[in-house]
C-alpha cells in the first residue's frame, strides 16, 4: 500500500511543529479509507516535544478534494457505515489532538476535506482556494463533522453549503467566518508561519488548556464551561508557566 500521508517535523526557535500532509496529488488529495486512517495515525504518533500541527495537501491544487469518488461508488449500506466512520475518526483525531492544529488550505477543500478543515483549530487559505459540500449532488447527505459548520458560519450559510452543493471562494469563506485568514498569492506559507509564531509565543501548558476549553465551549452548556474554565485557571498555577511568563512580561515592561 502506498503512503498517502506524510509527516515532517520542523524545528522552529520556539518549538517543534509537526506538518501532516495528504499526498495524493493525482487524485486532488481525495480521501480514501487508507488516507483517513493515515491522518488519524499521524496525529496519534506525534512526538512528545511537538507544540503545534499544520495539516495540508501536497501541491497547489488541493487541500483535499473530498472523499475518493471511486471508493464512494463501490460502497453498500454496510461498507458505507465503515467508510464514514473513518471520516469521523480522522476529524475526531484533529479535535482531540492536544496541540493547536492549523489547516493550510492550499486549494480545493471539498466535502470530507472541508470537514477535516472544520475540525482544525484555525484555517488559513490560499487566495485560489475553493470550499464546498457537494455530497447531495452525488445522492448522499453531508454528515459527521459537517455538523461543525453551523458553529463556524451560522445555520443559514451551513444549510446553503450542504443543500445546494455550491462552492464558495476564499474571499467569501473569510467573510462567512469559515476561514480566519486568506493569504495573497504566494504568501500562504508566510501567513501560516506568522500564525505559528503567534501560537508558539504562548505557554505550552496554557495553549493545551485553551484548546481543551475551546472544544468544551462548542459542546457543553455555559455553566459547565465556566466551571471547567475556573478549574483550568487554577490548575495553571500548579506549574511554573504563569510565574515564569508573567515575570518575563513584567521585566520587559520595566525595561521599557
Secondary structure letter of residue 67 according to DSSP: B
Give the integer Cα–Cα distance in Å for 55 and 142: 22
Active site annotation includes 115: yes
CA distances from 104 to 61, 64, 97, 114 (A): 12, 11, 17, 12
What region does 170 belong to: left with phi over 0, alpha with psi -120 to 50, or beta? alpha
Strands (E), the chain: 5-12, 15-22, 50-57, 62-64, 101-105, 108-110, 122-126, 130-132, 167-169, 181-183
* Closest to 36 in 3D by CA, of 85, 95, 103, 105: 85
Among 10, 37, 60, 135, which one carries the catalytic annotation? 135
Contact of 17 with 54, CB cutoff 8 Å: yes
Marked catalytic residue, from 115, 145, 172, 180: 115
Grid cell digits, residue 34: 487508507
**Residue written as grid cell 495553549:** 207
Query: Do residues 130 and 107 touch, judged by C-beta distance below 8 A?
Result: yes
Residues catalogued as catalytic: 115, 135
Amino acid at each position: 500500500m502506498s503512503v498517502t500521508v506524510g509527516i515532517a517535523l520542523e524545528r522552529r526557535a520556539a518549538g517543534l511543529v509537526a506538518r501532516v500532509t495528504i499526498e495524493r496529488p493525482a487524485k486532488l488529495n481525495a480521501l480514501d479509507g487508507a488516507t483517513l486512517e493515515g491522518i488519524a495515525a499521524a496525529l496519534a504518533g506525534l512526538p512528545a516535544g511537538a507544540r503545534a500541527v499544520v495539516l495540508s495537501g501536497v501541491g497547489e491544487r488541493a487541500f483535499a478534494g473530498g472523499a475518493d469518488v471511486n471508493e464512494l461508488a463501490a460502497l453498500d449500506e454496510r461498507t458505507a457505515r465503515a467508510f464514514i466512520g473513518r471520516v469521523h475518526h480522522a476529524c475526531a483525531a484533529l479535535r482531540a489532538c492536544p496541540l493547536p492544529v492549523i489547516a493550510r488550505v492550499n486549494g480545493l477543500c471539498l466535502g470530507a476535506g472541508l470537514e477535516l478543515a472544520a475540525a482544525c483549530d484555525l484555517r488559513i487559505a490560499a487566495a485560489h482556494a475553493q470550499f464546498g459540500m457537494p455530497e447531495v449532488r452525488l445522492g448522499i447527505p453531508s454528515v459527521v463533522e459537517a455538523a461543525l459548520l453551523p458553529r463556524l458560519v451560522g445555520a443559514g450559510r451551513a444549510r446553503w453549503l450542504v443543500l445546494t452543493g455550491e462552492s464558495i471562494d476564499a474571499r467569501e469563506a473569510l467573510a462567512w467566518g469559515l476561514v480566519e485568514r486568506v493569504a495573497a498569492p504566494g504568501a500562504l506559507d508566510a501567513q501560516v508561519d506568522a500564525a505559528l509564531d503567534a501560537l508558539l509565543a504562548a505557554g505550552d501548558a496554557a495553549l493545551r488548556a485553551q484548546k481543551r476549553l475551546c472544544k468544551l465551549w462548542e459542546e457543553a452548556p455555559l455553566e459547565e464551561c465556566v466551571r471547567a474554565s475556573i478549574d483550568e485557571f487554577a490548575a495553571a498555577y500548579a506549574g511554573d508557566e504563569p510565574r515564569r511568563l508573567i515575570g518575563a512580561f513584567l521585566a520587559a515592561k520595566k525595561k521599557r
